[in-house]
Amino acid sequence: MLADLFSKMDELYEDMVATRRYLHQHPELSFKEEKTAAYIANTYEELGIPYEKNVGGNGVVATLKGGKPGKKIALRADFDALPIQEENDVPYKSTVPNVMHACGHDGHTATLLGIAKAARSLQDQIPGTLVFVHQHAEEYAPGGAKPIIETGILDDVDAVFGTHLWSDTPLGTIETADKEFMAGADRFEIEIIGKGGHGAQPHQTKDAVLIGSQVVTALQQIISRRLDPLHTAVITVGTFEAGAAFNVIADSAKLTGTVRTFDTAVQEQIKMEIENVLKGITTANGASYTYEYIEGYPPVINHPAEAQLVLDASKEVAEVQEANKVLPTMTGEDFSYYLHDKPGAFFFTGAKKEDHYYPHHHPKFDFDERAMVIAAKTLLSTCLAYQ
């Protein structure tokens, strides 16, 4: 059975590449993926696989009942793009200004559609039921996973698995962790409210740029001096906006950033420590502030047995040269919500393009398309091993 599915995946490789490149040329931002969702739904219509659209928003969920008894397993792929102007000079370059598939979600979608096509052709031999979850809006919280789950469409699923094509990892490598795998991802918004004035008369002002700079530096001391060194966390200030002229002291400054954690107690401590920093520095400078902390995706925490199953199942894939447990990454993913409700695991499929390496979310991001077949075979092998 597995050999037949693998052979079918090899046959479908060019089809998967064509799908991926079409999607790459026609990206859509989070919560705006109407045409992409329609393309996915139309594919299932043509395959004769029952599906539901508008699941939790723009989600599409298809269900293939195999010809043999077995468990019901969900496989998830996301399909939103990012607000990035592509800089690659390739035939399949994005045709949409300032929108790009810079994280591999086009490849995830092509992979899952390829699995669906292979399984449909061998449906009588498939044990159990496969649920193909095409999720919108992974890139932007509150994301698409939670509303899809809240529809109840996955209530009777026995397990859920997913993969991310990972450009940092060599082709032929599978990586996962048996517990914490990806961090919880929150964001914060701060405004420093000072008093503007002439650049030559700072004593008459409350310099928001200077105060904001002190805040940026002090926030890093939360990690180095307030947090237990045995706990892992990141605070990054991503934007700092202030001022309008070289000789005018700004009256306000806006800062935004992200917090990454694996533990809710650490998350709560950092949330409180940021406010303490703001109170202390603004009070000392005679200024004030506003502060909003927005909780994002919780951490991706794999189930140990299912994570090990992925590694074991990947050994059946000839193209997999290494299958490793790795340390967690501080990047975030809303696949975490699926693992709150069901057993399962998330893993990375190595997709590094050796002659053209750029990280995820870069304007020149791309991946080795051969990774899609490896991802598909690993997911299929995992599904059959779980029965």
Q: Which segments are annotated as binding site? A: 103, 105, 139, 164, 361
d(CA 22, CA 348): 23
CB 205 within 8 A of CB 317: no
Catalytic residue among 80, 86, 186, 368: 80
Block residue for tokens 């509150």: 142
CB 310 within 8 A of CB 320: no
* Strand ordering across the sheet containing 184-193: 233-242, 252-261, 184-193, 288-297
Binding positions for Mn(2+): 103, 105, 139, 164, 361
| Strand blocks (E) in 91-230 | 127-135, 159-166, 173-176, 180-182, 184-193, 197-198
Going by C-beta distance under 8 Å and a sequence separation of 6 or more, which residues neighbour residue 198?
Answer: 204, 205, 247, 248, 249
Helices marked H in the chain — which ranges? 2-11, 13-25, 34-47, 105-121, 145-150, 208-221, 264-284, 304-314, 336-341, 371-386
| Closest C-alpha among 380, 319, 379 to residue 176 | 379
| Residue 34: active-site member | no
Q: What is the chain's Cα-based Rg?
A: 23
- Burial (CB count within 10 angstroms: exposed 0-12, middle 13-18, buried 19+), residue 53: middle
Going by C-beta distance under 8 Å and a sequence separation of 6 or more, which residues neighbour residue 38?
Answer: 53
| Residue 138: active-site member | yes
Catalytic residue among 28, 78, 86, 138: 138
Residues with a catalytic annotation lie at 80, 138
